[in-house]
Structure 1
Amino acid sequence: MAAVLPLVPETVRQLGVLDVGGGPWAGVVHSADGLLILELEEVGRNESGSADRVYPELQPVVQELEAAVDAADVSAIVAREVRRISGFDRVLIYRFDEVWNGTVIAEARNERLPSYLDLRFPASDVPAQARELYRLNRLRLIPNAAYDPVPLLPSDNPLTGRPLDLSLSTLRSVSPVHVEYMKNMETPASMSISIVQDGRLWGLISCHHAEPRHVSPNIRVTCDFLGQIAAMQLGAKVRMAEAAQRVERQAIQARLLTHMAAVERFTDGLADQPEDLLALTQAAGAAIVTEETIYRVGTTPSEGTIRNLIGWLDEAQPHDEVFATEALGTVYTGADDLVATGSGVIAISISQIHRSYILWFRPEVERTVRWGGDPRKPVSGGSNDLRLHPRKSFETWKETVRLHAAPWSDAEVAAAASLRSAIISIVMRRAEELAELTQELQRSNKELEAFSYSVSHDLRAPFRHIVGYAELLKSTAGDTLDVRSHRYVETIIESALSAGKLVDDLLSFSQMGRTTLMPMGVDMNRLLDEVLRMLRPEMEGRQIAWTISRELAPAWGDPSMLRQVVQNLLSNALKYTRGEDGVRISVWSEQRPKETVYRVSDNGVGFEMAYVDKLFGVFQRLHRIEEFEGTGIGLANVRRIVERHGGWVHAEGAVGQGAVFSFGLPVRPGTEA
């Protein structure tokens, strides 16, 4: 026996046919609990099915398996060949799903036993303990369920004093529950061959006979060998299919990433490729969700329903994981409106800060599942003991499954996860680029502010001197100047004053970026009254219909800066309504959960919306200076002040119909609704 040692744990070694006592015996050996377990089975001298005859027959079978297209073809070939070699009435290929329910995916049989093809069996039919034995011991034969068991002598392991572990034994007795199961199936003889992939029980080759049947050791070894080939081929077909799908999805993802990288908003790049977005997960519909918008493609739930789902996902699911389900209604109580279009959902979060998601949807697929007996009654209790008994009926029991979509494959879920990682990488890379650009812009702005401050400060004195000396010339030598010289002096004074005003505004603009903000609560009604008093000289002699809300919402900001914002906007409204009949100017506010919006409207000359982006630029004017005075810095100051407060400015208008200027300010920190 030393020749067979050492043995690899959890393996059985075939010793072939041995001459024991002058007769042929098939021997197998394995180790358990420190012992060497030898099993001998008598072989009939005229027993058919020797390895010399059977193995050559497997060569074309192996070639056929290699040429098979997919797992279904492999299963059909294996069922056919195992039945041909073993002679059983019925051979099933039985595959486990992720929760250990089993489905018969292939069958070869004669008319002596009924068909079980496409029947499903609950996990309780092959409990966890039995599945582990199937994983460890690949082949089990029960020639006759009505056999009389023979006691083991000694009954306990002499080294440990405990019952001997016979998990790997070929000849060990069968569980009474399994024997009863066979009787209920009306199959006195059975043989099972395990299909194991990567250490996990993938399924079984299950053989049944309508009467007792013994299968020789050589035939069993051949069937076991065929089972191992089947496991390898099934694994190869699955890996090939997964590889092909992976290559296809990588190509789809590459196209999506190319489009995302080519646009400023990556979500626009996704939205421009609806076919690829759906093909990535084989979905019927998809939605790209941001705080502002929802872009939908294909068959999807309504926007409101999607928003509700996003709210639940945001609270109930980890943001760094992929959420995938084929039966949303089993985990989400608000799924009633989603059944028809979104029973199946894959969701990925694409932002750590905002509620931004990509969702894929599959509709409900109502289907009928055929069970081998009622799955709700898998076992029953005995009348006189506590031993459980297996099902007694294997008649087809149909179940209609609703609220489920076609299940997502692991490859489809992985594709969604891969896209999420790629998007996060794009966002992070752009954030880094934006941070670098922001730092560079900040440095440039500081340099420009310092330069403009220096220039404007240094230019103030020369322009004042020009005005002063021109005024002095006018007063002291005015009598000696002719009309043309007087006009020259007046032009010098006006130009110097205009240039000086421009320099003063430029200095104010540069100081606006350097002044420290002093935020506090601001009574905007009071501030508005102060500004109107300051602007009274501009209103003298004019008929203006003011519409001012006396309940302006309070603001959070720097009072002096906000006063300048309101003053600039009202001053512009007065300026650009000059010469108009029936002047109307309105001021009002709108309180929102996270911001307060203020608006100033007039019915003045207005502007073309095509030039709205120029309004808030430095030295940008939409009207000639001969028509309306100004330096073109006032609205630039408005934008700079509001943006320094973390807010925004916006303008709308039409030529001859007036304009509306709006600005929004964040509410006081900690008071968001």
Structure 2
Amino acid sequence: MNSLPVDLTNCEREPIHILGHIQSHGYLVAIQPDTYTIVHVSDNIAELVGIAPTQLLGQPVQALLAETSVPGNTLVELLNVGCRNDSWDTMNPNRVTLNGQVWNLIIHQYLGLILLEWEPSGDERNALINQQLLAQALTEVQSSRTLVDLLQNTARRVKTIIGFDRVMVYRFGADWHGKVIAEEKDDDLEPYLGLHYPASDIPRQARELYKINLVRLIADATSTPSKILSDSDWPSDRPLDLTHSVLRAVSPVHIEYLRNMGVQASMSISLMYRGELWGLISCHNTTPHFVDYPARQAAKFVSQLLSAALEFRKDEEDKTNLLQYTQNGQRLHEQLIFTDDVVRALVKSPVTVLNMTEATGAALVFNDKVYQLGQTPDEADIRALADWLPTTDTETFLETSQLPNLYPPAEAFRDVGAGLLAIELSRELKEYVFWFKPEQIQEVTWAGNPDKPVTVTSDGQQRINPRTSFAAWIEIVRNTSSPWSEAEIGAVVKLREDILQVVTRQANEIRLLNQRLQVAYEELDAFSYTVSHDLRTPLSSIRCYSEILLEEYGAELNPDAQALFQKIIDSTDRMRSLIRHILYYSRMGRTDLSTEKVDMRQLLEGIREEIMVTAKDRSLQIDIGETPAISADPTMVLQLFTNLIGNSAKYTRLTPKAVIQVNGRQTDDEVIYSVEDNGIGFDMKQAGKMFDLFKRLENARQFEGTGVGLAIVKRIINRHQGKIWFHSEPDRGTTFSVAFPLTTHA
């Protein structure tokens, strides 16, 4: 028998949501929602209701309370209310008295089953105390001036609410390694503040559960968990999923980990930022310690306050940085337009490319010369870097905070260039703008050696064990700079468009292209002829014959056959649309511009009317703001805005209330229009492939499309000597901006 490879990802394959047990301090029953029949039960249930679990399986839920003084119909009425309202959160917890003891009943529904879980109830007087603590926590969130103060105050507040020995705020890095950045503890405990923990300590599937269950309690790591028993008719390959359970048992690996730390109770509270896991409030106790449901909810509320504060502060920081980069970018754009000299505008003017990011050095490689600003590698190293970039998969820009790991020669200049942000001006001419960040040598203090030891079990299997020592273990991390922010990336993507707008008007753009363009046009003509004649004709025949067969023999065909014929017809429609887009794209480069003043109000309202006709079954709002006229080819402009607004309508389809805003404004030398939506957005790090023919971003594949629309938009903008740029964030919408010069030359 072959064992799995021994690496730290083995822990990530552990099915921690279906362990088949619950923690011993509570009790669980799972019922079917239509019949209220008991199909799963914890084997300790007799302690609660006085009936053996085997006698309950397969019985109606009323049988659960047969040996207690509580009428069975009381539970049924409670379940009826929850099912009728299709909501359980507002009902939890339900305080019930069984055998003279008060319990909290927590109910949830998941994967076709209703789960009922009973936990001990705490003193009701604590609820008033917790309310006062929550009010104080809200005041502290509002008054804390620094993030450090905010985190420390939150740790102190949570410790007061739950009474654990130690409460830590643990932040994840980009590589999912974590660091303790705030701590409140009993005086006799050694501090963990500042210690790092490897990503393998909290594997991927555990992090996913932390995003679903914001609070996780392990009341007694030394206790024996209670097994979940299933009805004899229940499929053996469908174990009870405890993803949302408050009593879910603990992985044996994690139990061993806690014991090695000397921890017998733990509690984790998730800290979220824009829907993703930012960190955890991690709580440890050296003895078993139960925290009842209301107290856990109070601690959860404190963490949600902190999460909201984190998001607000980060958004404010991002807005400030983005505003600064945007202002500097506008100055550079003005310098480019005024001087029409790329070098002078970018490196010899009051505002330079170095002002576009937080980089400490920048370099422009242009016209076979190297221009340096700030602290950079020497000229030979920069030229070698420009030679290397065309050999990579880099498209229009590259960002990395670990350049020596991608490009080993960079280790020689890591003191000034461990981080690189690069935009490509011309791959053929090896022309680039580089930004450099220096190495940040880190002395990382791990809580024990992060490399987990491997042991061999009695059956010869290799197994990774949790660390047995958490003594400080120091590692020096090299070849890494501070990361590049989304605002920095967005700013340089926009700058690239500004530069290329000027470069397009200069002769050096044409030096290597004339001969290639001639060959390309000849090939394009042949391709267009093939598409229009050799593909369209048989495609029309396929559609025609399919329609005839469906009309003549449709009544004799079964529904499946009719559906197949309809799919053939629909597929021909999509193919014809793709052919039409390709032909339009191929001809556009040679079509003469018919420039005139375009009434943008009339054009945009016409596009809105067409889109709204096809969107009757959804909530879609298209707002049109200022509409200054532009001087352009009307047909091409119609195609451009139809694509941009149509894309926004498409990628907001999953948004409950979709809003698209179109606004125009005129500056001294150009008219700028923006199309903003609240759709799925995308990661700016994928921006390099945005305008490539037939290429689509990963998160757009669930929507129909050809990958041609934005390529057409880019070509139209180029024909008008304009520019296009964009800014987006996943799940927070996208803004495309296009600029048309006030005077356009064909």
Aligned residue pairs: how many? 432
| Distance in 2 separating the partners of 1:59 and 1:154 | 44
% identity of equivalent residues = 36
- Asked if the contact 1:146/1:188 (under 8 Å) is kept, the reply is yes
The one-letter amino acid of 2:286's match is A
Secondary structure (helix, strand or coil) at the match of 1:164 reads coil
| Distance in 1 separating the partners of 2:312 and 2:232 | 43
Equivalent of residue 134 in structure 1, options 207, 210, 216: 210
The residue aligned with 1:185 is: 261
Q: Deviations over 1:516-567 (max 9, x none)?
A: xxxxxxxxxxxxxxxxxxxxxxxxxxxxxxxxxxxxxxxxxxxxxxxxxxxx
The residue aligned with 2:92 is: 15
The residue aligned with 2:30 is: none
The one-letter amino acid of 1:175's match is S
Structure 2: unaligned runs, 5 residues or longer = 1-78, 511-746
| Distance in 2 separating the partners of 1:156 and 1:381 | 37
The residue aligned with 1:350 is: 425
Does the alignment pair 1:121 with 2:197? Answer: yes
What is the CA-CA distance between 1:392 and the residue it aligns to?
1.0
Secondary structure (helix, strand or coil) at the match of 1:131 reads helix
**How much is the aligned-residue C-alpha RMSD, in angstroms?**
2.9
| Distance in 1 separating the partners of 2:262 and 2:164 | 14
What is the CA-CA distance between 1:318 and the residue it aligns to?
2.4
The residue aligned with 1:312 is: 388
The residue aligned with 2:308 is: 232
Equivalent of residue 337 in structure 1, options 402, 412, 419: 412
Q: Deviations over 1:452-474 (max 9, x none)?
A: xxxxxxxxxxxxxxxxxxxxxxx
- Asked if the contact 1:92/1:206 (under 8 Å) is kept, the reply is yes
| Distance in 2 separating the partners of 1:233 and 1:420 | 34
Structure 1 residues 216 and 156, CA gap change in structure 2 (3 angstroms) = farther
The residue aligned with 2:247 is: 171
Equivalent of residue 173 in structure 2, options 72, 97, 102: 97
Secondary structure (helix, strand or coil) at the match of 2:95 reads strand
Q: Which moved more, 1:103-112 or 1:418-427?
A: 418-427
Structure 1 residues 382 and 241, CA gap change in structure 2 (3 angstroms) = farther
The residue aligned with 1:112 is: 188
Q: Deviations over 1:429-485 (max 9, x none)?
A: 778999xxxxxxxxxxxxxxxxxxxxxxxxxxxxxxxxxxxxxxxxxxxxxxxxxxx
What is the CA-CA distance between 1:196 and the residue it aligns to?
2.7
- Asked if the contact 1:369/1:400 (under 8 Å) is kept, the reply is yes
* Greater gyration radius: 1
Structure 1 residues 364 and 43, CA gap change in structure 2 (3 angstroms) = closer
| Distance in 2 separating the partners of 1:308 and 1:157 | 69
Equivalent of residue 374 in structure 1, options 449, 453, 465: 449
The residue aligned with 2:401 is: 326
What is the CA-CA distance between 1:94 and the residue it aligns to?
1.1
Aligned pairs (5 A) from 1:148-547:
148-154=224-230, 158=234, 162-273=238-349, 276-320=352-396, 322-351=397-426, 353-377=428-452, 382=457, 387-428=463-504
The one-letter amino acid of 2:155's match is A
After TM superposition, what 4+ stretches of structure 1 lie above 6 angstroms from structure 2?
6-9, 429-434
- Asked if the contact 1:263/1:269 (under 8 Å) is kept, the reply is yes
Equivalent of residue 111 in structure 2, options 30, 33, 38: 33
Secondary structure (helix, strand or coil) at the match of 1:15 reads coil
Secondary structure (helix, strand or coil) at the match of 1:283 reads coil
What is the CA-CA distance between 1:12 and the residue it aligns to?
5.5
| Distance in 2 separating the partners of 1:43 and 1:363 | 55
Of structures 1 and 2, the one with the larger relative CO (CA 8 A, separation 6+) is: 2
Q: Which moved more, 1:127-136 or 1:307-316?
A: 127-136
| Distance in 2 separating the partners of 1:76 and 1:8 | 39
Q: Deviations over 1:226-278 (max 9, x none)?
A: 12222222111111111111111111111221212211212211112476532
| Distance in 2 separating the partners of 1:417 and 1:159 | 55
Secondary structure (helix, strand or coil) at the match of 1:247 reads helix
The one-letter amino acid of 1:219's match is A
- Asked if the contact 2:92/2:105 (under 8 Å) is kept, the reply is yes
| Distance in 1 separating the partners of 2:184 and 2:126 | 20
Structure 1 residues 405 and 275, CA gap change in structure 2 (3 angstroms) = farther
Secondary structure (helix, strand or coil) at the match of 2:126 reads coil
The one-letter amino acid of 1:139's match is V
What is the CA-CA distance between 1:151 and the residue it aligns to?
1.7
Structure 1 residues 261 and 70, CA gap change in structure 2 (3 angstroms) = farther
Structure 1 residues 260 and 95, CA gap change in structure 2 (3 angstroms) = same
What is the CA-CA distance between 1:310 and the residue it aligns to?
0.3
| Distance in 2 separating the partners of 1:274 and 1:382 | 68
What is the CA-CA distance between 1:107 and the residue it aligns to?
1.2
Q: Deviations over 1:395-452 (max 9, x none)?
A: 1110112222333333323322232233234444778999xxxxxxxxxxxxxxxxxx
The residue aligned with 1:4 is: 82
Structure 1: unaligned runs, 5 residues or longer = 435-673
Structure 1 residues 397 and 433, CA gap change in structure 2 (3 angstroms) = closer
| Distance in 1 separating the partners of 2:84 and 2:507 | 60
Q: Which moved more, 1:71-80 or 1:305-314?
A: 71-80
| Distance in 2 separating the partners of 1:366 and 1:150 | 49
- Asked if the contact 1:70/1:237 (under 8 Å) is kept, the reply is no
| Distance in 2 separating the partners of 1:240 and 1:369 | 29
- Asked if the contact 1:156/1:164 (under 8 Å) is kept, the reply is no
Structure 1 residues 391 and 280, CA gap change in structure 2 (3 angstroms) = same
